[in-house]
A and B are shown apart, each in its own frame.
Chain A
Amino acid sequence: MGFLSGESMFGGYGGADILQGCSIGVNKGEIAVVVGPNGAGKSTAMKAMFGMLTLREGSVELDGREISDFPPQERVTLGMGFVPQNANVFTSMTVQENLEMGAFIRRDDFSTTMEQVFSLFPVLAEKRTQAAGELSGGQRQQVAVGRALMTQPTVLMLDEPTAGVSPIVMDELFDRVIEIAKTGIAILMVEQNARQALEIADRGFVLVQGQNRYTDTGAALLADPEVRKAFLGG
């Protein structure tokens, strides 16, 4: 179902299953967006696809290869990058150190990648010697995305990258996401700002209680009256 895909995933945090058989996927160069109410299991699904949660049933595949049993670190080496919803920067470290840590697994010279991140997010170049914890919400999210880009991933997973930022900064971040997707990277993104996110989405997944409620192109979901009524506020 795509370059990266999680198929019929079941699993949770030890108690009842949070994921109730949902499937999510994304292709290279595409933006896939996961939306749904709070507590639907969006973050849980992302963690499961990154190996931070063991699946009780179902599988995760990357480029046709089953990776369900791989630990997160190994998925990083296979080209997956993840920006979690919370605590997604090293607050006590400088912007530059955050990016260096993003490149931790690389033993080659990553200075060009760092320059690429700086040209994508110019404000980070200005603030490179500041502690990430001292930055504004939007700048922090840029550090978080930049950190994940340092491994030159083929898939980038973002969990609510626009949480707590102003609408202007949100548009700005979405523009950057589109720019990243254009380089051929697959982007799988969870978003609270469902309408704006679906507008830039090639694919959309509406998740409710750990299951797929609607799956379609972003445009189709935006046009669907039911989806609009239930999830996009009319």
Chain B
Amino acid sequence: MTAVTDILNALALLSNFVLVPGLAYGSQLALGALGVTMVYAVLRFSNFAHGETMSFGAMITILVTWWLQGKGVNFGPLPTALLALPIGIIGTVLMCLLFDRFIYRYYRRQKAAPVTYLIVSVGILFILSGVVRFVIGPQDRMFADGERFILKARAFKEMTGLDQGLAIKTSQGVTVVTAVIIVALLFWFLNRTRTGKSMRAYSDNEDLALLSGISPARVVAITWIITGALAAVAGTLYGLDKGYKPFTYLGLVLPIFASAIVGGVGNPLGAIAGGFVIALSELLLTFAYKRVIAYLTPGDWVPDGLVQLLATDYKLAVSFVILVIVLLVKPTGMFSGKTL
């Protein structure tokens, strides 16, 4: 009997520290990777500015959230930021369209090589990170309000009678639910609407799309609209969950690209799968298993160390190593593909 309880305790422990945070972080990476993959599939370059685009979106959302909070508006148990998010999306979309109109379009007309676009996107990365620090400053910002938890650790213990608590933060629940809605909308758009299909057609075969009367300018604009919206949502959710720190978004570029590439860059399903693979790998490899082992073995077997494969400081290395392995073993990723 105690054996079952111990297993349940171990599961609750793993859920609390790996599964639940992994689902939330995985959703954030998936949304980020979707943005990168959309740009890659349609505009055919790696957009290194995507992390800063997410930061920009989060910033607009935070500014609007503060303004709403100042007016005494709130969203009950949910974070006020969700009310501000539509404005964040619009702002980010406008920014993307502006950068496309004044920077990327110039290179498109020159038929620039993908590597040129990549360097241009690095330039935009610097511009954006400067703008963000100028507008909101470099320091950490907390903007989550409403109920902090959906499920409190103590409530879980009382409910189940287990020693081990399991907590689900509101930000985690909001992240997963929002990601599911956004992904469902995106897939519906790409597979069911005329415009979405025309984007897939353009991504598949640009010349034939042209011959079919599909307008490249329109496809490009819609791609930026979707990318901007995805970035604003991903950036805001990440900020809600982890607190908004402008510098962290640069560090997100690596896991996001790893997610997109592991899944198969250009493939939306791959971006989602890749996001969860990277997130769960990071957490599983940096988790200290000592207490899990304690639950699952007789008392005196408990090791002295933390039984942690990697210190959390090395979590970026996880994305990097997975990325290298995938590029060596299966460069096309889990869902091979360069098209939407």
Contacts and interface: CB of A to CB of B under 8 A. Distances in A.
B160 interface: no
A92 B337 contact: yes
B215 A73 contact: yes
Chain B, interface size category, equals 10 to 19
Contact of B213 (A77, A84, A92, A93): A77
A111 B80 CA distance: 47
Contacts of B212: 76, 101-102, 104-105, 147
B211 interface: yes
Contacts of A52: 207
A100 B194 contact: yes
B214 interface: yes
A101 B214 contact: yes
Contacts of B194: 100, 104
Contacts of A73: 210, 213, 215
B308 interface: no
A87 interface: yes
Contacts of A77: 213
A44 interface: no
Determine the main DSSP class of B at the interface with A: helix
A92 B215 contact: no
B200 A93 contact: yes
Contacts of B171: none
Given A100-B194, A101-B201, A104-B214, A90 B337 contact: no
Interface string A78-99: 0000101001111111000100
A101 B207 contact: no
A132 B197 CA distance: 14
B209 interface: yes
Contacts of B213: 73, 76-77, 104-105, 151
A72 interface: yes
Interface in A41-75: 50, 52, 72-73
The 8 closest A-B pairs by CB, nearest first: A105-B213, A90-B204, A92-B339, A101-B201, A76-B213, A73-B213, A104-B212, A92-B204
